[in-house]
Structures are given as C-alpha cells and as structure tokens.
A and B are shown apart, each in its own frame.
Chain A
Amino acid sequence: MSQNNRFSDEFLNAFVDDQLDGEEKDRAYLEIGQDETLNRQVCELRKLRDLTQHAYRDLPAPPSATTAAGKRRAGSRFGIAACLVLAFGTVLGLQIDAPRLTATAPAGTTAVAPVVAARPATTASPTRAAPRTVAATSVPTVGATAASDIRNKVIVHIADDKPAQLEQALGDIESLLRYYRDSHETARVQVVLNGRGIGLVRADTSAFAARIARLQKEYDNLTFAACQNTLERLHAEQGVAIRLLPGVIVIDSGVAEIMRRQSQGWTYLQV
C-alpha cells in the first residue's frame, strides 16, 4: 500500500513509533518533511494512534472497583481529546471530499512533532470537529491513564488583536507555563482564539509566528485552538481560505469550547 518505495510501510510505522535509531531517524525526518505524500501518511498513522488512545481513555468500571481506587472518575480530559476528534474528522474529510480539496496535508495535531508538522488546515470546505462529550455518565468510569490528574488546566481566551494586547497575552501565557513548570506542577494551557483574536495565529498576518513556534517547542502542554465559526465567517467575508500557523488546531466553536472546559473544571482567563 505504500506509494513510495524508498520507505516501506514498516519503516514509516517505526518512524511514527520512534523505533528508529539516530541515523535512520534523522534521514527519515528530512525526507518525510519534504515529501507531502509521506508527510500525510505519517500524519494518518499518528492519528490512528491517537484515536486508539482516545478510544480507551474512559473505561467501564471493573466489578472489583472499590470506592478509593475504582470509582475515580475518568482522568483529566486533555485538550488532545478535542483535537483527536478533529483529527478523526480530518481523516474522513480528506477522503470524503477528495475531489474538492486541494492537496493539503491535514492539520497538525499537537505541538509535539515540530519537525514533521503538517501544513495547517486551510480547506475551503473546512473539516468539521465534533464537539467533545460533556462528561456526565451514570456509570462510573475508571480513568486508566498512568499519569496522575493534571492539576492546573487553564483556558486562555483571546478575542482581540491589538498588537500591545497580543504581546501581553503571549507574555501572560508564557508566564503561566513557566510558573507551573518552576513549581513542578502539572498543567495544561489551551489558548482559544475567536473573533479578531484569530489574527494571532493567521499564517499570513501574524506578527508572532516565531514566538508561538518557540512556545510550542518549549512547552508540550500548550495548545492553540482556533474557532471554526470565526474561520468560516472570515472566509465568507474575505473570500480567501485562512491558513493557520503550524500546530494550531481547529475547534468547532470558541465559545462552546470555553463553556465545555469550564464545566470540566478548567479555569478561565481572558487576556
């Protein structure tokens, strides 16, 4: 099934699972970074992996569950879950809309692989993100994540794009991340951009691309999420598809996402 006979399926899988040794890995990074087909294949493999992880994050409680260990609610739902669902939608969108789409690589999911970051989602017919489940089950679920719950989960809401304001916003975000890192506390920060705030992550107009890239590289618990509704509105108004900076995910609605997160116990900051 591989379209490129320099790299077998098995090699690509090994690359995605980080099973290559140093020299092979370097070579792979280079080649894959430059080849769009390979890039997309790698992306799809990563998505499958993420989907698998997502599918087993919340499990039904085992019959032996005691009050202490067993009935603990599903461990913290990470922002990654939102972009996993998007990722799934992206995979579908690519296939189902194949005739209409230009050959763009699907949106990068997390900021964890900057070197092989796929080109951001630019589609004229945007991929849809299904909203995340609001956790409200009558069946107690067991979170099987090995990592303990993330202590600090913060949504940062940016709705404006005055340069001084954005400058301060990025400063605040970095300040927050550094604070948690220095005090050795687990944290996740998700930046939600809607309205004029989208300007911060527009590839064509953002004055902060380098700074954002640096932050994404330094902090793997940071996510930038752009509002789908805003993107669609801009597209309708300006007639051009908005390209986002690498690593920026797209969520269905900024406001809905903020409400969902707050109902999950995330704290909120508007900057």
Chain B
Amino acid sequence: MRKVLAVMALALLAIGSGCASMSTGGKQKVVYHINYNDEAQLKAALGNVQNHIAAVGKDNVDVKVVMHGNGVDLLKTANTDLDMQQKVVNLKNEGVDFEVCNNTLVKKKINYKNDLFDVSEKDIVPSGVAEIARLQQQGYVYIKP
C-alpha cells in the first residue's frame, strides 16, 4: 500500500510539473539522480522508475537517469547480475536514457566499454552533477530515489 502511494505521489509530482511545462510538447521531464551503490537500493530505485513510467505512460514522459560517483556501479553490476541487467534493458526499451559521468570514469579508472553494461559514447557527460543542474534548467524535475 505504501509503495502504491509512493508511486502515485511520484506520478502526481511529475504530472504537476509536467503541466507547468506543457508548452514543450506536453511531456513530463524527469531526471533521476543516482550516486550510491547499495544493490537493494539501486534495484528499488529502478523499480520506482519503472512504476513511474507505467503510471503515466512511456509516451508521456522523458526520463533520464544520471549516474555518478558510486552510482556508476549500477551499470557495472548490470554486466554480471542478470536481474539488474533486465531492469535496465526494460527501461531502455521504454525510452529511458542512462547517462554516465566522465569525471567518475576517470577517477575510478573505469573503462566504459568493458566494465559497464551497454554504454556508448553518447551516454557520457563530462560532469554528472553539472548535467543534473543543466537538465533542471531545461525543465526537468529532480528526483533522488
């Protein structure tokens, strides 16, 4: 019950701000901020995103997931953990963008081609936090799941 309420709250939040940005074609825009690597928390977060999309319809929402710091481990885990991988694949099929912070890649010496699941060059942003700020400036609502 709590989970349903949480999802509805999220959806309402997104709708509320979506109405404000109706002029941009009616799509709600949301950025999810991931900077932790506790596996249970990550899976729950992806579940939230999934529920959100289900609640409003994938054609009505533009979702970006930005990972930096420890959050990059989400895609690292997805390489070996099939459950995590499936969640990511499902979301990507519904149009969700997964963006990765380059500063983090450099700092942690991560090779995105080998170490991370399904990341191409277009998914990489110079600074994860700056990207989140930029998206908000463009009308994306910020959620930290």
Q: How far is the CA of A59 from the CA of B144 in the complex (A)?
A: 38
Range for the number of chain B residues in contact with chain A: 10 to 19
Task: List 26 contacting pairs A-B, 8 Å CB cutoff, sorted by A.
Answer: A152-B130, A152-B133, A154-B129, A154-B133, A168-B35, A168-B70, A172-B69, A172-B128, A172-B129, A175-B103, A175-B129, A176-B127, A176-B129, A176-B130, A176-B133, A179-B126, A179-B127, A179-B130, A267-B133, A267-B137, A268-B136, A269-B33, A269-B132, A270-B144, A271-B35, A271-B129
Chain A, interface size category, equals 10 to 19
B21 to chain A, nearest CB (A): 14
Contact with A along B25-42 (1 / 0, CB 8 A): 000000001010000000
Residues of chain B from 27 to 61 with CB closer than 8 A to chain A in the complex? 33, 35
**Residues of chain A having any CB pair with chain B under 8 Å:** 152, 154, 168, 171-172, 175-176, 179-180, 267-271
Q: Mark B67-105, 1 if CB is under 8 A from A, else 0.
A: 011100000000000000000000000000000000100
The reply on B117 being an interface residue by CB < 8 A is no
Q: Using CB atoms, name the residue of chain B closest to A157.
A: B144
Residues of B within 8 A of A (CB): 33, 35, 68-70, 103, 126-130, 132-133, 136-137, 142, 144
Given A179-B129, A267-B133, 7 more A-B residue pairs with CB atoms under 8 Å apart are: A168-B69, A172-B129, A175-B127, A176-B129, A180-B130, A267-B137, A269-B33
CB distance from B45 to the nearest CB of A (A): 13
In the assembled complex, which residues on chain A have CB atoms less than 8 Å from the CB atom of B69?
168, 171-172
A172 touches B68 (CB 8 A): yes
Contacts of A172 in B (CB 8 A): 35, 68-69, 128-129
With the chains together, A152 CA to B127 CA distance in Å? 14
- B113: min CB distance to chain A, Å: 23
A167 and chain B: residue at smallest CB distance:
B69
With a CB–CB cut-off of 8 A, which chain B residues contact A152?
A: 130, 133, 137
Question: Which 3 A-B pairs rank lowest in CB-CB distance, beginning with the nearest?
Answer: A267-B136, A267-B133, A179-B127
A269 near B129: Cβ-Cβ < 8 Å: yes
- Do the beta carbons of A270 and B33 come within 8 Å of each other? yes
Q: In the docked arrangement, what's the CA distance between A59 and B133, Å?
A: 30
